[in-house]
Structure 1
Amino acid sequence: MTCKNCANTLSSDFSFCPSCGAKVVSKRITAKSLISDFFERYFNLDNTFFKTLWHMLVKPQEVCGGYINGLRKKYLNPVSMLAIALTTSGLILFFMKKVAWGKIDFSKISYAQTSNPQEGTEKIFSASMEYSSLIYFLYIPIITLASYLVFNRKKYNLPEHVIISTYSLTSFSIISTVYAVLLLALSPQMYVDTALIYVVIMILFCMYVAIKNSPCSNASLLWRIPSFLMIVFIGYMGISIFTMIILFLTGDLNIQDFVPKK
C-alpha cells in the first residue's frame, strides 16, 4: 500500500503516513464519514481551532509569537484562520441579504447618507457589500504598519507583523460571527446602526494583541496608544475614500446620488 499524498510505502496497519503525516483513507466517502470528519475537525474542544481562538483572547502573544518562532502544530496557521474568517464573513453577508435586508430602514443610518436618505444609502451599502472581502484585506496592512511602527519592542520585521495582524483580525471576525448572526436575526437595524462601534472594537482588539506581543511600560502607553489609533484612523479614512473611488469607477455610485433634490 502506498500513501496517496506522497507515494511513500505504507504497512497495512498504518493509520497515518510516517512521511507526510496524512491520514490513511482506505474506505469510500459516505455521509456518515463526512459528518464525523466535520465534527471531529471543528467541534472537538481539543482541536487547534478552538484553542487558537481561546488563546488569542487570553494570551495572544503565545499564538502569534509561537508561530513566528516556528511553532506550527499547536495552533491553527494564519492562512487557515483567514480562510475561515472569509467563510464566516460570507455567512454574515448571506444573512444580511436573505434575512435582514428588507427590515432595515436605511434613512436612519446617520453615518452613510446621500441626497436620497433611503435609496441612496441602501445603494451604498449594497455596493460596498460586493467589495467587502477586498475591504477586509485592506485592514491587514494598516494594522500591520501601525503595530510595526508603534509596538515593536521585540524587533519583529514587517512580515512577522503581518502574521500578528492576520491573527488579530481573523480571530475577532470569527468570534464576532455569533453576535453578528444573532443581531441580524433579531434586530437588523441595530446591526447596521452599530457598525462603526463594531469597527472601533475590532481596532481596540487588534491594539490589545499588538500590546501583548510587545510588552512595554505603562508610561510609554501614553504615547503609543494614541499613535497607534492615529495611524489606524488615517488608514481607515484611506479605505473609505478608496472604496468610494472604486464604487464611482465601477458605476455602482454616481454624482447624482449626492446632489440635493429640488
Structure 2
Amino acid sequence: MQNSDYCANCGRPIDGPEQNFCPVCGQRTPVHRINWHFLGHELQHGIFHVDGGIIYSLRQLLTRPGHTIREYIRGRRVPHFKPVLMIMILGAVVTVLSKYLLESGGLIPTSLLTINEGARGLEPGSRDAQIVKNFREALSWMNEHLAITLIALIPFYAMSMRMAFRKFRREYNFPEWLVITCFVTAQALAIYGIFLLLRQLLPAFASWDFTAMMAAQIFTFVQLFRPYKGWKTFLRFSLGYVYYGMFVILLILVGVFAILIASLGWDAFVGEIRG
C-alpha cells in the first residue's frame, strides 16, 4: 500500500480515514497494491465502465511507456484507460483493419492458413493429414478471434517475463506482471494498427511492423527497469520471449492434439500412435 496520508495520483493531503476518494482528482484513497482482489475488481469495472481516456493512455504508451506502466502500478490510475478493455477494443479494431487491408484477413500469414495436406503428399484421412488440418484450423480460429487469443496468452507472457526478470520478483508480483504485459500487448496492437494504415500509403512499411513492435517493447522494459542497465534488460527480455515462444508452441500443439483426439476418438488416436 502507498502512503495513506497523500493521494497517490495528485499528492493532495488526505483529510482522514473516512475519505474514500480524492476531492481533487477522484482517485480512490488510499490506493492499494495490485493483487488478485484488485484485478478482479478492475476486470469487472473495466468491462462495464469506460472512465479513462484511451487516446491519452495510448499516447503515453507510445511516448513514455515504461514510466506510464510504473506510475500505474504505483497508484496513478485515474487518467488511464483500463488495460484489459483497451486490448479488447484495439484487438477488435486491428481485426477489422486486417480483414479489409490484408490478403489473409488477419495477423497470421496466408501461407500458414492455406496449408494443404494433400499438396504435401499426405494421405487424406491419415493421422498426419489430420494434424495439418487441425493446425490450420487452430491458426484460423486465432486469426478470427485476435482479442480473445491475446488476452488468453497474457498469463503466459507475464509468466515468461517474470521468469526472465526473476531479479525483480520482489518488486513486482504476478498480478502486477499481468498488468505490465496487458499494457505492452495494447502498445503492440496500437503500433500494428498504425502500420496497417501506413502500408497502404507506402508498401515498404509492410516489412517493418514486427520490428517496430519489438523495438517498442524493448524500449518499454528498458524504461520500466531504469536504472538497471539497458543491455541487461535487453538480454532478460530476449530470454523472456524465448520462454513465451515455447509456451505458445506448446499450447498450439496441445490444442491440435485435443482436436485430433476429439475427432478420432481416444482409442483410434492411441491406435494411430502405436501404429
Shared fold, TM over 0.5? yes
State the match for 1:115 in structure 2: 117
1:129 correspondence with 2:126: no
| 1:206 aligned residue | 217
Deviations 1:108-144 (A, max 9, x none): 82797342459x6976654443443432223311221
Task: Find 1:92's aligned residue among 92, 97, 103.
Answer: 97
Q: Any idea what SS the aligned residue of 2:225 has? A: coil
Question: Is the CA contact 1:61–1:209 (under 8 Å) kept in the aligned structure 2?
Answer: yes
Partner deviation per Cα, 1:55-99 (whole Å, 9 max, x = no partner): 212321222112111112222221331232232134135426xx7
CA contact (8 A) 2:94 2:189 kept: yes
Q: What letter is aligned with 1:148?
A: R
Between the two proteins, the alignment pairs up a number of residues equal to 198
Aligned to 1:49, which of 50, 54, 57? 54
Q: Deviations 1:10-53 (Å, cap 9, x if unpaired)?
A: xxxxxxxx9xx8xxxxxxxxxxxxxxxxxxx9xxxxx9323322
Do the aligned partners of 1:53 and 1:175 also contact (CA within 8 Å) in 2?
no
Measure how far apart 1:176 and its partner are.
Answer: 1.7
TM-aligned CA distance change 1:122 to 1:180, over 3 Å:
farther
1:49-198 aligned at under 5 Å gives the runs: 49-92=54-97, 94-95=99-100, 100=103, 109=111, 113-116=115-118, 126-151=140-165, 153=168, 155-180=171-196, 183=199
Partner Cα distance (1:223, 1:230) in 2 = 11
CA distance in 1, matches of 2:172, 2:236: 17
Unmatched tracts of structure 2, length 5 or more:
1-22, 27-49, 121-132, 264-275
* TM-score normalised per structure 2: 0.55
Query: Residues of 1 paired with 2:61 and 2:220: CA distance?
Result: 8
Separation in 2, partners of 1:146, 1:207: 15
Shift of 1:229: 2.6
CA 1:237 to 1:115, structure 2 compared with 1: closer, same or farther past 3 Å?
A: same
The aligned amino acid for 2:173 is N
Change (3 A) 1:156 1:249: same
Q: Which amino acid aligns with 1:51?
A: Y
Structure 1 gap segments, 5+ residues each? 1-17, 22-40, 42-46, 252-262
- What is the identity percentage for the equivalent residue pairs of Structure 1 and Structure 2? 15
- Over aligned residues, Cα RMSD in angstroms? 4.3
**Deviation above 6 Å: which 4+ runs of structure 1?**
184-187
SS in 1 for 2:77: coil
Range moving further from structure 2, 178-187 or 228-237: 178-187
Q: Deviations along 1:206-254, whole A, 9 cap, x unmatched?
A: 3432332223224634742442232122123124324434654676xxx
Q: In 1, distance between residues paired with 2:56 and 2:87? A: 16
User: In the alignment, does 2:236 pair up with 1:224?
Assistant: yes
Aligned pairs for 1:245-260 within 5 A: 245=257, 248=260
- The separation in 1 between residues aligned to 2:160 and 2:138, in whole angstroms, is 28
